[in-house]
Structure 1
């Protein structure tokens, strides 16, 4: 797989958003837009775990967006500059700059919240995949904070006392440290995480809800599928960290995106 062409889009509040693009010379379906999860980034989550290569092999052009505060996008410790609403606005700016008639949109975890908000407002989304999320998006309007409260997560990202962290929070902190994330920016996003209603009924794109069968952050995904008109549901093996990188996940998503009918599958 070749390296992406990486560019920067400056959005309305001046934030620089990194956009990574892999072009495929074959196929006539729209580009696939990928939105990663919290702490991660395009190169780590989508390229590093095989999704980009699988999509390219299927003849799809792939575009990955690093959410603000993540990857190569601009950082800030100010919570006022974050939240999935803000990230969805960034994503719509990227879509507008692509100047294409349609896109297929794939999100995972935090990226699914961003993608759901985007698809509820953006008519250019042809097909939508929401991975690594479940009833929390319906009942809480975002990532399931009943599992990991946002204030606790922000504190875990900033603390110097790692010995005090319970296992779940220690895992998030360890992941952030392992990938060299800007932890003040991540803490700001945690504090600004979306917690209001998402107009899931306004999503018109055929939608696939896909979750790991052992994912504590994507429990009861059938509730999410039922809230989106015509959405389908698929469970794959794995937890929150492993499901999205599996061959089963990749194959299911690519097959769904290859469909051309306008109604849900």
Structure 2
């Protein structure tokens, strides 16, 4: 950074990210400059010559280098908004994406009806990570209780932190478990954004994902479907009568996942598209045997 005025710093940060081929250079530069300096873009317009201390410029240089080397803006800042709540991130968790909000949207009508019928509802979020799905739903329904399950102790620590920040920690419990291994009891809803990337495709993902997201939260096995088989095979034992299973899926996986659940006597009841128009979330209900 050569200029010391706030407006100059915005321009230089944007130019540096643009030169490095960052597609979202304008937005990324604004977010990072605002975070490091504590001054928003409006302040840069009002007081373009506001001086910034050298130590802050040095910090900004370091952060821009991290962005150029593939670390996402939200990883650098350490938090990200999701469905109206703000979540802390950690090295043990995926960075929640807007596409996952499709899963939250899909299950809201189901939970609303369930709560209307029973006064309260319980859900379990498998592979909870930051707690994004469970906490967003707890934020929507004060009559809801949730258990966040993860095999990673670090992820569960992050989820607990986020439950506290969201103000729902009294209705959220964190459980360390490899899928259903340590799960007991029955729930109205099982939700999950499981790993669904085929193993051999992970290396071809965006740098931000490959370098900074935990691989075990991405790798769904050779065909990307192993977690769905696990969930389908155990879900019935942990669902109350009339309960449901809701899952995020990858591009083009609907038919295979529908077949996996049909083999376990589940029927597809709902589909939700993501912001790009792709089928992103499925809702299954158990077929009651006579």
TM-score using structure 1 length: 0.38
- Bigger Rg, which one: 2
Q: Which has the higher contact order (CA 8 A, sep 6+)?
A: 1
Q: TM-score, normalised by structure 2?
A: 0.36
